[in-house]
C-alpha cells in the first residue's frame, strides 16, 4: 500500500513539474520569443512601376496567430486588387534595408510577434519611417514581445499588459472617434459589434490620435495570470482599439483587433484595415 502511495505521489509530482515547466516555457515564448537567426539576405523583387508597393511582414518568434495571418493574405490581396497596390508578403527580415524599404509606401506588421529583426534592420525600419514611410501594425504587433523601445513608442504608444481570457473572445461595440481622420473612418458606421481578443495596456496610448474605441467597462478584461482577475489598469472606460500618429515625416497606424481569422471576413474590420493602408499611402 505504502509503495502505491509513493508511486502515485511521484506521478503527481512529475505532472506538477512538467506542467510548471511547460507553462514557464510558454510564458517565456510569448513574452520574449525564442531566439532565432535573423535573415540578412536581400530578396530580389521586381517592383512594378507606378503602383504603390506594400510590404506585408508576418514573421513571428513569440505567439503565432496562424489562422489570422493565413486569413489576412487573401483579404489583403483582394484589397490590393481593388486599389491597384503591389503586395510583397514575406516572413524573412532581409528586406529590412534602407535601399529596398525605400520602394515601399507602407510596411505592415501583420500579427508580428517577438524579436524578429536585428539591430541594423531595426535602424533601417525606424529611419524609413522617420524619412516619410508608414508602418501599420495589426493586433499581435502591439503585444509586449517586441522589446524595441522605438517601436513601442511610435507604433504602440502604450505598454501591453494582457488580453481577455475568460471568455477569450468577447463581443464589444466599436465606436468611431469623432474628429478622427476621415480617410480612416471612410465606409464605416459610427458604431458596430465586433468580437475579438481584447488587448489591455497599462496606459492609454500616448501622443496618438484615436480612430476607434470601445467601452472598457463592457468587457471582462481578465488577464493571462489566473490570480490576477478583472484588471483594466489605466485604460478605463475609454478604451482605444485603433490609433494613428505622425512620426517625423512618416506615420504609423495600429489596431489591437485582428486575433482571429473571422475578423478578416468582417467587412467593417476589412474597411478599417483598407482605410489604414490608404491613409498610410497618401
Task: By CB under 5 A, name the binding residues for Zn ion.
Answer: 197, 259
Cα–Cα distance, 243 to 225 (Å, whole number) = 27
Instruction: Compute the least distance from the CB of residue 139 to Zn ion, in Å.
Output: 6
Cα–Cα distance, 110 to 79 (Å, whole number) = 15
- Residue with the shortest CB distance to Zn ion: 259
Tracing cell 490576477 back to the chain, one arrives at: 228
Q: Please report, for the chain, how many H helices and E strands are present, in that order.
A: 7, 11
Tracing cell 517586441 back to the chain, one arrives at: 146
Tracing cell 496618438 back to the chain, one arrives at: 208
Instruction: Decide whether 57 or 279 has the Cβ nearer to Zn ion.
Output: 57
- Cβ atoms of 211 and 182 within 8 Å: the answer is no
Instruction: Compute the least distance from the CB of residue 146 to Zn ion, in Å.
Output: 14
Instruction: Compute the least distance from the CB of residue 48 to Zn ion, in Å.
Output: 33
Instruction: Compute the least distance from the CB of residue 112 to Zn ion, in Å.
Output: 12
> CA torsion sign, 161 to 167 to 168 to 170?
negative
Roughly what angle, to the nearest 10 degrees, separates helices 267-281 and 66-83?
Answer: 60
Instruction: Compute the least distance from the CB of residue 85 to Zn ion, in Å.
Output: 26
Instruction: Decide whether 31 or 120 has the Cβ nearer to Zn ion.
Output: 31
Instruction: Decide whether 86 or 198 has the Cβ nearer to Zn ion.
Output: 198
Instruction: Decide whether 122 or 163 has the Cβ nearer to Zn ion.
Output: 163
Instruction: Decide whether 121 or 255 has the Cβ nearer to Zn ion.
Output: 255
Please give the span between the terminal C-alpha atoms of the chain, in angstroms, as a whole number.
77
Amino acid at each position: 500500500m505504502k509503495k502505491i502511495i509513493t508511486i502515485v505521489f511521484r506521478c503527481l509530482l512529475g505532472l506538477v513539474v512538467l506542467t510548471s515547466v511547460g507553462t514557464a516555457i510558454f510564458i517565456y515564448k510569448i513574452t520574449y520569443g525564442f531566439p532565432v537567426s535573423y535573415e540578412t539576405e536581400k530578396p530580389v523583387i521586381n517592383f512594378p512601376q507606378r503602383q504603390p508597393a506594400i510590404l506585408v511582414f508576418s514573421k513571428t518568434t513569440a505567439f503565432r496567430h496562424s489562422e489570422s495571418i493565413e486569413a489576412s493574405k487573401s483579404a489583403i490581396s483582394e484589397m490590393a486588387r481593388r486599389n491597384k497596390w503591389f503586395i510583397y508578403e514575406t516572413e524573412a527580415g532581409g528586406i529590412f534595408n534602407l535601399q529596398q524599404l525605400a520602394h515601399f509606401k507602407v510596411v505592415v506588421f501583420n500579427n508580428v510577434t517577438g524579436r524578429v529583426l536585428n539591430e541594423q534592420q531595426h535602424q533601417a525600419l525606424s529611419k524609413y519611417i522617420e524619412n516619410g514611410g508608414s508602418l501599420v501594425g495589426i493586433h499581435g504587433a502591439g503585444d509586449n514581445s517586441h522589446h524595441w523601445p522605438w517601436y513601442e513608442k511610435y507604433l504602440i504608444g502604450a505598454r501591453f499588459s494582457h488580453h481577455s481570457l475568460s471568455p477569450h473572445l468577447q463581443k464589444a461595440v466599436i465606436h468611431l472617434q469623432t474628429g478622427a481622420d476621415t480617410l480612416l473612418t471612410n465606409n464605416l458606421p459610427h458604431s458596430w459589434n465586433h468580437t475579438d481578443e481584447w488587448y489591455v495596456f497599462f496606459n492609454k496610448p500616448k501622443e496618438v490620435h484615436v480612430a476607434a474605441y470601445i467601452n472598457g467597462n463592457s468587457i471582462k478584461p481578465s488577464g493571462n495570470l489566473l490570480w490576477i482577475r478583472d484588471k483594466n489598469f489605466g485604460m478605463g472606460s475609454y478604451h482605444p482599439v485603433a490609433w494613428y500618429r505622425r512620426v517625423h515625416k512618416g506615420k504609423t497606424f495600429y489596431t489591437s483587433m485582428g486575433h482571429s481569422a473571422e475578423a478578416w471576413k468582417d467587412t467593417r474590420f476589412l474597411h478599417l484595415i483598407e482605410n489604414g493602408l490608404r491613409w498610410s499611402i497618401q
